[in-house]
Structure 1
Amino acid sequence: MSHFHIYSLPIELLDTFTPRNLVSNVPRPRSPSPPPVASASTVGSRACNVCNGVAFADVEEQRAHFRSDWHRYNVKTRLNGGQSVSELEFSKLVDGLEDSISGSASEDSDSDDSDDAVDALVNKATRKARSRSPSQGPALPAQTALAWFHSPPSTQLGVYRAVFNSGVHQSDYLSELKRMQTGGRTWAMFMVAGGHFAGAIVRVSRGQEDDSEEVHTKKKPKKPKADTEVLRHKTFHRYTTRRKQGGSQSLNDNAKGNAKSAGAQLRRYGEQALRDDIRNLIHEWAEEINACERIWIRASGSNRKIFMDYDGCVIEKTDGRLRTFPFPTRRPTQSELARCLLELTRAKTSHLTEDALRAQDEAYLASLPKPKVIPVAPAPSAPEKPKPVKLSKEEEIFREKWSRLLEMVSKGRLEPLKSFWDREGENLGGVDAHIPDWTGEKRATLLQVAAHAGHEDVTSWLLETHHADPTVDVPLKGGEQEEDSDSGEASDSPKPPKGSRRTAYDLARTRPVRDVFRRCAGAHPDWWDWFGAARVPSALSKEQEEEREEKKKVRRKGLKDKVKEREAKAKPAAEPEPEPEPAKPAPLRSSTGPQRLGGASGAAAGITGLTPEMRAKVERERRARAAEARLKVMSQ
């Protein structure tokens, strides 16, 4: 017996079975590596290397496979650089389409539709492969649709996994297969696509009562009953799709809006009628469906709503008996239901010796691509953010005082500064105390802050009253020197070379602040090393200041005298110009009357429409230009 019915397997054969788990369960990553090794059923010369080595019982079955959409899809996918898919994977792709891609029972009638659908599937797979990130690595194929069992020395048997109960682990498939040999079972099978519907209630396993009747009957033994029997069936068709357009009318309406043609109205009516006919049939068969062990449904996403998700539905969406066909199907017909029933209930067999199986497993494991070890560069460690330090109450008060002190010095608020310093000066470390780093201040002392801010009164108060040290160096950090040394006026001291030391005097941006340092150096030369460590270029005494002021006054007086002489020389040369007669106001003209092209001419055109003050100003400018012209002629 070359084929076995899965519900009528010989007991002596079942007792010798062991699960074949290697090829069926080990995930095979898709990669440009050689094609996967054939499974246990791929034996002999009648096999398809494109479709993962699937084998055939005879030449006719092989030719039918080469004409199938599954094979043509794999051929086009391999030509595009992709990988072949199993029957189960291809079936899932088919379920995503609205119509059957295999056409009707007549191969010639709908061949164009089939080609278009296969091309659409290939394009979709290509776009999906391109959109995958390279970092995700090769995708792993889904688990094979068949579960294989081995019986020594050289018999293998395959059963579709969808036949077993949901939740059964693959290690328990063998015990589940033995349990399936007892009791009667019925299945419900429904297909809908392209306006075609086919449904049936079939018996796939006879009960013990039927066997006992045949054994104990006194009459002549009847012909043995078939393993499967169709109890109820129904097929019908409605006009729902346009020829070679693809897709239902409802999907077209959702995408482009409701069409108003007569054909569109007929297709909408056909969809509604098809839905009502199917639901009425399911309610009519409700008792038989509730008694079924499996419910097989082939329908696309939109057509699947016909069977469930409506008020009073017989088949619930969460029903554990629901299954999809794990292989490609054609247009829904009664003959197609019979073919699918035979495919599901007939066990697949092969005959490989244990040595051949072992060699096959080794070849398969060797064909698996080795994972590439990609060195991962250590991620740059982000600088850790300093954790906030919990301060004591005394520390918070101390920081608040420093903040207030720096604010008063930088803003030049001398009077509040004096009162604050009388109270807190000693507690903060004195006038030369180093400014804490947590304040973010770039300067080192209060004198440097005051000099940089340009407050001469605060600077003088620090130097004269509190003897602040002007020799303390300014901290150099990065490009601070160029920033701080920028000044709107020329400094009396030469700019220090880059990287050398600086003092508070170097931070002074204005002459009055620098004069404070020079004045203090002249008044108290013994206090500090003014001309060395403090970098003050020279002292400034009171006499020097008075002399400088006198020079400024003389310079200003000389400039004024030169201006007066220049004006006096220009006066005798200028002759008084007779006062022009006041211009007669031009007669008002109607804006609507005739106008002379070019408007007024001469001097009257320049002052027409001006106020008396503006006219006087224009006349003064004219007289000034005339006087300048006469002076120019006289000087030649």
Structure 2
Amino acid sequence: MDKKTQELLKRPLYVYDLPPEVLSTLTLQEDAAESERQEVDTPAPSPIPSSNDHPSRSSSSDSLRASVGSQACSLCGQSFASVQDQRGHLKSDWHHYNLKQKLRGRAAVSEAEFEKLIGTLDESLSGSDYSDTEDEDEDEDATGRKDSTLTALLKKQATLADRSARSNGDAPAEEDDDGFTRKKQRGSGKPPLIWFSSPLLPANNYFGIYRTIFAPEETKNESDAVQMVKKKQLESIPVPKPGPDGNFAPAVYKGPHIFLCMIGGGHFAAMVVSLAPRQTKHGNAGPLNREATVLAHKTFHRYTTRRKQGGSQSANDNAKGNAHSAGSSIRRYNEQALVDEVRLLLHDWKTLLDTSELLFIRATGATNRRTLYGPYDEQVLRANDPRIRGFPFSTRRATQNELMRSFIELTRLKVREFDPAAAQAATKAQHETSTRTTSSKPAKPAIPKLSEAEETAQLHTSQLQAFIRRSKLPALLSYLKSNDLPSDFRFQPAESQQNHHAPTPLHLAASQNSAPLVAGLLGKGGADPTIANGEGKTAFDLAGDRATRDAFRVARHELGEALWDWDAAKVPTPLKREEAEKREERERAESDRKEAERRKAEEERLQREGPKVPDSSSGSSSKGARPGRRLLDGGVLKTAQERREDEARGLTPEQRMKLDRERRARAAEERFKRMQGGSGV
């Protein structure tokens, strides 16, 4: 390769303005396309290159040469620049999904293929951007952790597999988020890149152009691919200069341009970019990094996703009903505000969108697609527009930088090095190894199928245990009566550790130290206190506090000696309810007296040891008290942080978390009230 060719290949090659030396030597390489289809891995999106980098080379050959090593994932075929990136990948849903595929004896999928798999699922957390962090608010109305994206994907695949089996091997009918039922296509996709060979490149190196930048009618006959590329060439224009109002001359907007848009997790970014190459000072055409002519751009962000729990507020409302927390109200308001802002922007850009050659849109989830495609009055985008394209590579959070990176990725020639013959041989060897491994694996033991009676018993067990843990005595007694179950119902499966220790509702209530449940099960439910668990202990033996033990003794007095063998139940002498209440009252009074004495002694100590505060009558109290401190009755000044620490002192970690959520909820309600007051709502 001569020096001139090396200099030519060092700079980025713009698809719409290729040098004559490259354009005249392009030849369609079908072997490379077939090899690229067989490859498991797809290059991950690289960061925005600098003007001195060669992004077309760095995005392909470097990642293939470093597919293994200490900072790499051999399963997914990825290498990483730092240990932190590697750890982040190992925690990702993509890596965990490939682990599941490996356990099932199936081939791993690329990141682009995984993104397509989860494309029909509603948006997860809020998109990912490795460098962005935001303040996170916990949702105080949550009752449980939402299924992760990976779990939802695996459940959906299991459902589709079952549906396919029921349809006698037919391609499963799949209903998408818009309510349309369509056949799921298998194996009909084409490789995302069209490959070309050129004598300017070293051996086993090829040029690649994304197939998505061509119209469907242009890609029907790939033998004319070189002619398609030649037709895409555009004349370079001088660098346009915006006017005083920030807009370009009308002629700039009439030139060929494309529209790029991303929306997800409350983030929206859109951009209209001119395709005409710009002339540089040295006379060379072709926009370098960040030098593309951006005709219009806009980004929005609204707080719409449920932090640490995933999913949008509307998706949670549709699944569980409307929540009534301050955070949920703010998210609903922001969702509608985001919809209005996006649709107003699209209406303002209608002329640019109508004249765009292509529309690249990433909108994951029904809510985001409905925001763009409606239906609504004066709708701009249509879902059946043939110009609409998806991004054929993984994208991150919707930002201006991510749109520019995607534009550069779409419009640059890729250079990749691989040997088609070697790739086919490796694929064949991998298939043979997988076949031998699968055939040599011992058959897994079949999971015993439960009978209908066993399934019903386990359902009753879960319901009864839930009522007991939440101390729902009326609901517990009503459930036993309505389902015609004895009060001494044995929990199933009996061999589990929990049911071995507490086999009946009375055992579980006593182990939970729930005196009201014990009294209700003995007095109203007729539970037998003489039943022993697998360790030979009765329910009384499991009681951990005096109130619960007194409930057994009071029941012995009220039910009588003849009903049960109380000695066999290990219940001590009977106790009248009045005596138990009097003793409880005495203990409560004694506890209150000791607490009052402790507080008094603490106040006296603080008066002796605390700082002296000037008398308010002297007129100097305002000088002695600093801002942010509060004067207590004992003459002690405490900051807000000290008061919060005093409130949390002595609480368990769970109680501290609950207290923190209540504080954040009150703060969110105040912010929401101020927002409503400011907007005149």
Relative to the length of structure 1, the TM-score reads 0.47
Structure showing greater Rg: 1
What is the TM-score when the length of structure 2 is the normalising length? 0.44
